[in-house]
Amino acid sequence: MTTTMDETGTREHRHGGTGGTGREVKPVPAWRRRLRPYLLSVPALLITVGILYPFVLGAYYSVLNYAAVRPTPEFVGLDNFKTVMSDPIFWTSVRVTAVYALVATAVETVLGVGIALLLNRSSIVGKIFEKVLILPLMIAPVIAGVIWRLMFNPQFGILNHVLGLGSTFNWLSTKTALWSVILVDVWIFTPFVAILVLAGIRSLPKEPFEASDVDGAGWFYMFRRLMLPMMWPYILVAVIFRFMDSLKIFDHVFVLTAGGPGSTTRTLQIGAYEDSIINLNYSVGSTYMFLLWALVFLTARYLVSVLGKAQKRAAGSET
Amino acid sequence: MATELMPGRKRLTTGSVVADLAVIGWFVFSLFPIVWMVLLSLKTSAEQTSTYFTFSPTLENFGTVLSDRGTALTSVDFTSALLTSVVNCGGAVLVSLVIGIPAAYAAGRWRYRGSNDLMFTILSFRFAPELMVIVPLFVIYNQVGLFDTKVGLIWVLQLVTMPLVVWILRSYFEDLPADLEQAALLDGYTRRRAFVMVALPLVRPGIAAAALLAFIFAWNNYVFPLILTGSDNSTVTVAISKYLGGGGQAYYNLTAAAAIIGALPPLALALTIQRYLVRGLSFGAVKS
């Protein structure tokens, strides 16, 4: 990327279209002008390379048998992938991660869009609450995990008391733990979807709604035919962020359950943590992460292409 | 009716009452944990597990958490964790700004070959599974002596702060009409002066928003300090999680007090940049 600079059509040229203008008092040689964006990007490029280095090293670990007990690792090809993929606990992690990401994203999207629509009405109640909407989102997920762990406590936790469940209901049992950590995710991240969608709704043009109101269109028709298609890009941006983040969820789950009880909340990143940091088997942990990274990468590619199409369609429906 | 979709007309109907109730319902769910945390932080150790809403409130726990007495009780040095977090996050944001602003300007102002590749690589750090990078870093840091150091953490926090700064600021620089700098150039400014005197002041809100948001996310980060620091440079998030771990007596009231102290800086910062929050959180994708 550093060799050819022929297509450095700078924007200042395109703007200064009417002949002769754009000439600087002290002319800067063309080669320096072309080089400028590259020079400005050099520090960022160096940092990027610095971050990519451990990343590539991590990918390399997955074809070694590197562990703390084996400081001089050997090349083992795809053995780690074979081992990991024939291990039932890996598939448990995949299932937990998939359920977590799909359910959390779906619930947060529906709730977030609902809250955005509710807050968009000009009501006093909505105005008051809009200010505090983002509070859970700005608290560290770890702190959220700590708060909820105390609330979930069967003996003195407030939830069982307020909901009248007595002191026997266990929010973090084998059966309930996954749903409880998803509940906490919903508590933290629904405001994220809500504020993005709310900003989207507020940026929509008013004319189509007024026009179809005059035409006597019903609420549901307008929502489905006008608002939803125009809002769709905003919803998708929120969905992309939430889904990608859920696939690599760690913080609050780790504090709440550390992957337990059993492996019922052992997401892929928690699995990788167990293998590489607790068991000090770096290669197995890296194999987990490489597979997760591939999953995240492919999902991102797909979702971004969906977003591109939706943006085009929404732009079309506005005109 | 239809106009409900767009604000403007105010009427008190069954529909609007139900909608208001739904809003209130969400906010009870949303705020209750925070309120309960505050209540818990005001209880004495005797009251922490024995009562729910009736107790005699005291601010003593906050003092305990921040003093040596708290450190002796819980073996968590919260004050030094606070200090470490401030230094780490401040340092990480500073590095990201110094390195990110020129890159964001270049990407926002010119289309040059490789620009998009660099930008999307930086963005991909935001979505990459953290452990993919941490595991090798854990090994490297232990070899080169960066384990449990502030420098080591500032470096790895670039994964959090750099994408935010670069992407948010690129969207601000893109919105800035090139004619403004062009005019300055015609007046005899050098490119550098035009940037410093014209472009930079105009995106100041963007810089502030990006910096504060980066600070918040660096502050809230848990997985990097959890794995890459030990007892010397433990951060606020790691310190708070330690209150619950380990055996011995549990100090839930102290945990709550520490959680509140740890949550306050991000909350305060978030409120000051509320106008720019949506744009920041979506990396410039949603402009409001």
Domains assigned to chain A: 11-48 (no CATH), 80-318 (1.10.3720.10)
Express each pLDDT in B59-71 by its tens digit: 888 988 898 888 8
Structure tokens at A12: 């200042």
Domain boundary among B56, B71, B86: B71
pLDDT at B266 over 70: yes
Which residues of chain B are within 8 Å of residue A54 when distances are taken between CB atoms? 133, 136-137, 140
CB contact under 8 A, A276 and B138: yes
- List the single range of A277-291, B36-50, B75-89 with lowest mean pLDDT: B36-50
| B147 and B184 assigned to the same domain | yes
Are B254 and B74 a contacting pair, CB within 8 Å? yes
Mean pLDDT for the stretch of residues B133-162: 93
Let me know whether B124 and B216 are in one domain.
yes
Could you tell me the pLDDT band of residue B251, with boundaries at 50, 70 and 90? Answer: confident
A43-53 pLDDT per residue, tens: 999 999 988 99
B105 and B162 both lie in a single domain? yes
The nearest alpha carbon in chain A to B213 belongs to A138
- The residue among B168, B108, B100 whose CA lies nearest residue A10 is B108
Q: How far is A274 from chain B (nearest CA, A)?
A: 11
B79-120 confidence digits (pLDDT tens): 999 999 999 999 999 999 999 999 999 998 888 888 888 888
How far apart, in whole angstroms, are the C-alpha atoms of residue B138 and residue A189? 29
What is the distance in angstroms between the CA of the first residue and the CA of the last residue of chain A?
Answer: 39
The reply to whether B114 falls in a domain is yes
| Residues above pLDDT 90, as percent of chain B | 50
Q: What is the pLDDT of residues B31-41, one digit of tens each?
A: 999 999 999 99
Nearest CA in chain B to A206: B6
B135: closest CA of chain A, how far (Å): 7
What dihedral angle (degrees, nearest 10) is formed by the CA atoms of B186, B191, B195, B199? Answer: 40
Q: Quick: pLDDT tens for A108-121.
A: 999 999 999 999 88
Which of A83, A236, A100, A299 shows the shortest CA–CA distance to B286?
A236
Structure confidence at residue B95 (pLDDT): 96
Q: B141 and B266 share a domain? A: yes
Percentage above 70 pLDDT, chain A: 91
Disruptive mutation site among B117, B130, B131 for chain A (greatest number of A CBs within 10 Å): B131
What residues of chain A lie within 8 A of the CB of B50, using their CB?
156
Q: Which of B37, B121, B135, B282 to mutate to test the interface with A (most CBs of A within 10 A)?
A: B135
Spatial CB neighbours of A101, under 8 Å, sequence gap ≥ 6:
A243, A246, A247, A249
* Arithmetic mean of pLDDT, B44-56: 78
Which pair of tokens denotes residue A242? 């939430």
A119 CB near a chain B CB, below 8 Å?
Answer: yes
Cβ within 8 Å, pair B135-A5:
no
- Whether B143 maps to a domain, the answer reads yes
Residue B190 at interface with chain A, using a CB cutoff of 8 Å: yes
* Residue to test with chain B: of A33, A39, A47, most B Cβ within 10 A: A47
Q: Is the peptide bond between A261 and the residue preceding it cis, with omega within 30 degrees of 0? A: yes
Q: Which of A40, A133, A146 sits opposite B244 (nearest CB)?
A: A146
Q: Which residue has the tokens 């199409």?
A: A309
With a pLDDT cut of 90, the percent of chain A lying above it is 51
The dihedral through the CA atoms of B152, B156, B160, B161 has a sign that is positive
User: In this complex, do A289 and B135 lie within 8 Å of one another by their Cβ atoms?
Assistant: yes
Shared domain for B42 and B114, answered yes or no, is: no
What is the pLDDT, as a whole number, of residue B12? 65
Least confident piece of the model among A264-268, B66-70, B139-143 = B66-70
Q: What is the mean pLDDT of chain B?
A: 88
**In the prediction, which pLDDT does B75 show?**
80
pLDDT at A26: 59
> Using the beta-carbon criterion (under 8 Å), do B130 and A10 form an inter-chain contact?
no
Calculate the average pLDDT of chain A. 85
pLDDT tens-digit profile of A192-228?
999 999 999 888 888 888 888 788 777 788 888 888 8
pLDDT score at B269: 93
Say if B1 falls within a structural domain. Answer: no
Asked if residue B199 and residue B97 are part of one domain, the reply reads yes
Residue B5 included in any domain: no
Q: Is the pLDDT of residue B2 over 70?
A: no
- The verdict on residue B25 lying in a domain is yes
Check if A24 contacts B (Cβ < 8 Å). yes
B77 — contact with chain A (CB < 8 Å)?
no
User: What domain range includes position B82?
Assistant: 78-281
Instruction: Please report the pLDDT score of residue A5 as a whole number.
Output: 35
ipTM of model: 0.90
**B177 and B243 belong to one structural domain:** yes
A253 in Cβ contact with A270 (< 8 Å): yes
At residue B6, does pLDDT exceed 60? no
- Domains in chain B: how many in total? 2
B169 in any annotated domain: yes
Residues B16 and B118 both lie in one domain: no
- Pick the more confident residue, B46 or A134: A134
What residues in A contact B124, CB-CB < 8 Å? 297
Residue B16 has a pLDDT of 80
Q: Which of A97-106, A299-308, B51-60, B192-201 has the lowest mean pLDDT?
A: B51-60
DSSP letter string over chain A?
Answer: --S--TT--BHHHHH--STTTT--SSPPPHHHHHHHHHHHHHHHHHHHHHHHHHHHHHHHHTTB--BTTBSS--B-TTHHHHHHHT-HHHHHHHHHHHHHHHHHHHHHHHHHHHHHHHHHS--HHHHHHHTTTTHHHHS-HHHHHHHHHHHH-TTT-HHHHHTT-TTT--TTSTTTHHHHHHHHHHHHHHHHHHHHHHHHHHTS-SHHHHHHHHTT--HHHHIIIIIHHHHHHHHHHHHHHHHHHHHT--HHHHHHTTT-STTTT--HHHHHHIIIIIS--HHHHHHHHHHHHHHHHHHHHHHHHHHHHHHHHHHHHH-
Task: Find the range with the poorest average confidence among A275-279, B1-5, B124-128.
Answer: B1-5
Q: What would the mean pLDDT of A6-12 be, rounded to a whole number?
A: 40
In a domain, B20, yes or no: yes
Contacting residues of B for A36, CB less than 8 Å apart = 106, 110, 191
| pLDDT of A319 | 41
Of the given ranges (B18-22, B53-57, B208-212), which has the lowest mean pLDDT? B53-57
Q: Residue B8: is its pLDDT beyond 70? A: no
Contact B34 A147 (CB under 8 A): yes
Higher pLDDT, A10 or A116: A116
| CB-CB under 8 Å, B256 with A11 | no
Backbone φ and ψ for A217, nearest 5 degrees, come out as -70, 145
Cross-chain CB nearest to A251 (options B49, B223, B236): B223
Of the candidates B32, B49, B71, which is a domain's last residue? B71
As a whole number of angstroms, the longest Cα–Cα distance in chain B is 74
Asked, for residue B176, whether it belongs to a domain, the answer is yes
Measure CB to CB from residue B182 to each of A12, A272, A285 and give the nearest one: A12
The predicted-structure confidence for B69-90, as pLDDT tens digits, reads as follows 888 888 889 999 999 999 999 9
pLDDT score, position B39: 92
Nearest CB among B5, B111, B278 relative to A227 is that of B5
Please indicate, yes or no, whether residues B98 and B235 belong to a single structural domain of this protein: yes
Between chain A and chain B, how many beta carbons pairs sit less than 8 Å apart? 325
Determine the distance in angstroms separating the CA of B148 from the nearest CA of chain A, rounded to an integer: 15
Pair (B38, B124) in one structural domain = no
Lowest mean pLDDT among A4-8, A32-36, B185-189: A4-8
Q: Does the pTM exceed 0.90?
A: no
CA-closest candidate to residue B30, choices A108, A51, A168:
A108
In chain B, positions 100-159, which contact chain A (CB-CB < 8 Å)? 100, 102-103, 105-107, 109-115, 117-118, 121-122, 124-125, 127-133, 135-140, 155, 158-159
Average pLDDT over residues B141-156: 94
- In this prediction, residue A16 carries a pLDDT of 38
Q: Do B22 and A118 touch (CB under 8 A)?
A: yes
Q: Are residues B64 and B82 in the same domain?
A: no
Please report the pLDDT score of residue B124 as a whole number. Answer: 87
First to last CA, chain B: 27
Backbone angles phi, psi at A71, to 5 degrees: -65, -20
Q: Do A199 and B278 touch (CB under 8 A)?
A: yes
pLDDT band at residue A7, thresholds of 50, 70 and 90? very low
For residues B35 and B139, state if they share a domain. no
pLDDT at A19: 40
Q: What is the pLDDT of residue A22?
A: 47
> Which CATH number covers residue B230?
1.10.3720.10
| Residue A155 in contact with partner chain B when CB distance is under 8 A | yes
How is residue B275 annotated by DSSP? G
**pLDDT surpassing 50 at residue A80:** yes
Contacts of B137 in chain A (CB under 8 A): 54
Which A residues 66-105 touch B at CB under 8 Å?
none
